[in-house]
Amino acid sequence: MTEPTADLPGDASRQPLSGQPQRRLIGAMPKAELHLHLDGSLRVDTALELARTRGIDAPRDWAGMSAALIAPMPCANQAELLKAFDLPIALMQDAEALERITDELVETKAADGVRYVEIRWGPLLHVAGGLSLTDGIAAVCAGAREAAARTGVVVRLICTALRSHDPDDNLELARTAARFLDQGLVGWDLAGPEAAFPDPLTHGAAFEAARSAGLRITVHAGEWGGAAQVERALAVSPERIAHGPGAVDDPALCRELTARRVTLDLCPTSNWQAGLVRSVAAHPLARLHRAGVPITLNTDDTTVSDITLSEEYVNAVEKIGLTLSELWAIDRRALEEGVAFADEIDLMPLRERFDGWASGIPELAASTERA
């Protein structure tokens, strides 16, 4: 694909858009994010206040709290990365905290130009202090609803089960989550320590209960075990797979993902941080996209990975090698029916807004959707 160009003042020729103009264009893009964890996106100042008011043993200064919430760059493996979630989860054990953190995350995303976001969290992780499952889910729904009304961001929620939890508990979680379909909770996910609990079918009953109730299905896979684990995840018939960059190593699997229209929600910085790739620049995002594999581009965790979506978009162009038009095509595809978990009645106006924004920008004119 030819590099997009921009007219230079006083010069009839067209040169590649780069540097600060390119970054400003990326920053101005309306964005959609489909893979974002609530407990990995806690504001540092909020964490300080919650630790103080809840009596949680945690750093009491900004620098110390920041260091505690941001995972090592990189970690030795997924297990080390998951340790970074222990403190946020300890701070998120009451309805007020859950509602506030959800509200603030939507506000943070709005400031970065995100116009559609799907936020996922594991409700069973937030009942240790006595909060009921129902009240915890209701609090997150309330925070999302309030922030959406204030910012104009379209927000949808994904309930995440943990691989390490009892299958019966996850079945009950699926049944409880389904009662919130009319409050913006639209998806079902499975995450957690993949090496210790590699088979998603252990929680097959929960997947089926969620699907039967109308929840859309995604699953974390390939954070350990590479392409084989991504293929294994297809057994639960997901519409999307969270992560899965190792699929690039198996051409047959890539063809299957494409044929089945299963989207990989990729997070380059987080994948490097977890040790899945040797560097952000080495991430196979561009190769997967050019091979026709459906993908989206996401942060995974705003705080744990210390990155905004705009910064991840810049990385995708400047480090990984996407063109601006390829980046826009990936961004725009996240709003397609069958990719985003919102209803078509909500997605259509968003697509029109995105298309209207891009219509006057020559650098994006070469964008094409990849089926």
Please report how many Cα atoms fall inside a 13 Å half-sphere around the Cα of residue 159, on the Cβ side: 35
Among residues 99, 223, 239, 326, which one is catalytic? Answer: 223
208 is catalytic: no
CB neighbour class for 205 (10 Å; exposed up to 12, middle 13-18, buried from 19): middle
**Residue 17 near residue 366, CB atoms below 8 Å:** no
Handedness of CA 354, 360, 361, 364 (dihedral sign): positive
Instruction: Tell me which residue has tokens 């997901």.
Output: 238
* DSSP label of 115: E
Task: Give the C-alpha separation, 364 to 150, whole Å.
Answer: 30
Give all strands (DSSP E) within 181-271, no chain letters. Answer: 185-191, 216-221, 240-243, 263-266
**Residue 4 near residue 324, CB atoms below 8 Å:** yes
Task: Give the C-alpha separation, 234 to 238, whole Å.
Answer: 6
Bridge partners for 243 per DSSP: 221
Taking every pair of C-alpha atoms in the chain, what is the biggest distance, in angstroms?
Answer: 69
CB neighbour class for 220 (10 Å; exposed up to 12, middle 13-18, buried from 19): buried
* DSSP label of 159: E
Task: Give the C-alpha separation, 156 to 134, whole Å.
Answer: 17
* Residues designated catalytic: 223
